[in-house]
Structures are given as structure tokens and as C-alpha cells.
Amino acid sequence: MSRAPRLAGQRCWVVGASSGIGAALASELLARGAHVAISARREDRLEAVSQGHMVVSPCDVTDPEGTARAADTVRERLGAVDLVVWSAGTWQQFDALEWDRQAFARHIEVNLLGLNNLLAVVLPPMVADRAGHLVGIASVAGYRGLAGAEAYGATKAAQLNLLESLRVSLSGKGIRVTTVAPGFVRTEMTEANTFPMPFLIDPDQAAHAIADGLERGDHEIVFPLPMALLMKAASVLPVRAWDAIAGRLARSGTS
């Protein structure tokens, strides 16, 4: 696999860029000299992020045809896309004692099937060109199970596995795959959280960490560092030990 290029001059499409990490990353890529296209459902928010300097191509990732049309618009305006960032997603705290089938399904629909819709339109051209870079923003919540994250965590664990599998499958084909696993970031999705969020950072800090990792050629970008170390350590704990720790965390969060 070739060395990671500098971001300057790269044609980048950020999907899920109307707010939060996606919006901040789009601005960071532009500041580093990339040509940027952005997509999400809310066109007015995309225009505010763009400030007239990015290609705006609205879409709902749960709509396969709409996602394909957005991809066509981006290619028409930018040309062949060098780097695609998946930053779309939904989060809702979950109560396993009162199972909400629709809430669980919504996480699957957006976080997994939405990603599937994007991959279906961006991977074939990359494979044909033997070039491209896919960046998927998952979460450290996918490393171990936590009470209240049954729906979100399940989709993030699936994303981590999917991106790792793609990295292996596409190795040697000229296509890079980078997994991004943030800790807690101050966004619209997290502002309603009532539980402690250790090592909370701002979206601009997240965007800087991602862009730095992309320019280093990292296969996996996990941040902030304290959360990365904590969750990496948790990922290798025996099940019984993790169950005890997670149980205490759940009880402290409801006390």
C-alpha cells in the first residue's frame, strides 16, 4: 500500500457534515488545502458549514437512491474522489429494561445500513481505479459493552469489525481504509447526555486529531489519548472483570 499523501489537493467527500465532528473535519480538510464536498440531510446547515467554499450535496444516508445521486453530484463537481469520510450517525441512550424495538432499529438503519448505502456507491469506482481512501468514524463505544449503549455500541462494534475487514480485503488494491474511534466529543448528539463523559473534547480537537492521523498514514485513529489507552486496556480484560467494572459504572450512573 502506498504512503499516505498530504491532504493538500485531495478531493474529499465528508458524509455527515452538517454538525459535530463531520462539520469540523470538513473545515479542517479545507484549511489543509483539500477540495471538499459535504453531505447530510440538512442543506441549510451544510451551507453554513461550507460558507461557499465546499460542494454541497444533501442526502439522507438511509435512502440508497438519494445517496447515489449525491455521489454523482460530488463526482460531477469535484471529479474522482480521493478520500471519502463516513461521519453520519445517530445516538440515543437505551434502556434494556424497556426494550424499544424502533429505537434499536433506527441505530441499525442509520449507523450500519446507511454506511452500507455509502459503500455501495463509493467502493466500485475505487476498485475500478485501484485508488482511493475510505475513512470510517466509529467510536470507542464499540470496544466493550456498556449499559445504556446497547443499540449504539452494537452498531459501533460492527463498524469497527467491518472497517478492519475492508482494510484486509482491499490491501494491495490501492485503496486505503482508516478506522477512527473517538471518545466523548462535545456535539449535538452528546449534549443531552446526563452521565459523566470523561476526557470530553471539542469537535475542532477531534478534527485536528483525525487530519493529523490521516497525514501520518495511521490505520486506526483513536483519541483523546487517555480514553484511547483506557478503552484499549478494557478491550483485553477478561469478561468477568469487565462485567464487574461495567456493572459498577452502570450503578454509579443511576445513583
Q: What is the pLDDT along the chain (255 residues), one digit of tens a residue?
A: 445 568 999 999 999 999 999 999 999 999 999 999 999 999 999 999 999 999 999 999 999 999 999 999 999 999 999 999 999 998 788 888 899 999 999 999 999 999 999 999 999 999 999 999 999 999 988 888 777 788 999 999 999 999 999 999 998 899 999 999 998 777 777 666 666 666 788 899 999 999 999 999 999 999 887 777 777 777 787 888 867 876 776 666 543
CA separation for the pair 20, 18 (Å, rounded) = 7
Burial of residue 33 (number of CB atoms within 10 Å: 0-12, 13-18, 19+): exposed
CA separation for the pair 187, 19 (Å, rounded) = 8
Residue of 152, 167, 187, 213 marked active site: 152
pLDDT of amino acid 237: 76
Give residues with Cβ within 8 angstroms of 100, minimum separation 6: 94
Question: Is 143 a residue of the active site?
Answer: no
**Structural domains of the chain in order of their starting residue, each with its CATH number:** 11-254 (3.40.50.720)
pLDDT of amino acid 65: 98
Phi, psi (rounded to 5 degrees) for 63: -105, 105
Residue with the three cell numbers 473534547 = 201
Q: How many CB atoms lie within 10 A of CB 222?
A: 22
CA separation for the pair 159, 142 (Å, rounded) = 8
Q: How many CB atoms lie within 10 A of CB 204?
A: 16
Residue with the three cell numbers 470538513 = 26
pLDDT of amino acid 193: 62
pLDDT of amino acid 1: 44
pLDDT of amino acid 247: 73
CA separation for the pair 254, 74 (Å, rounded) = 46
pLDDT of amino acid 196: 64
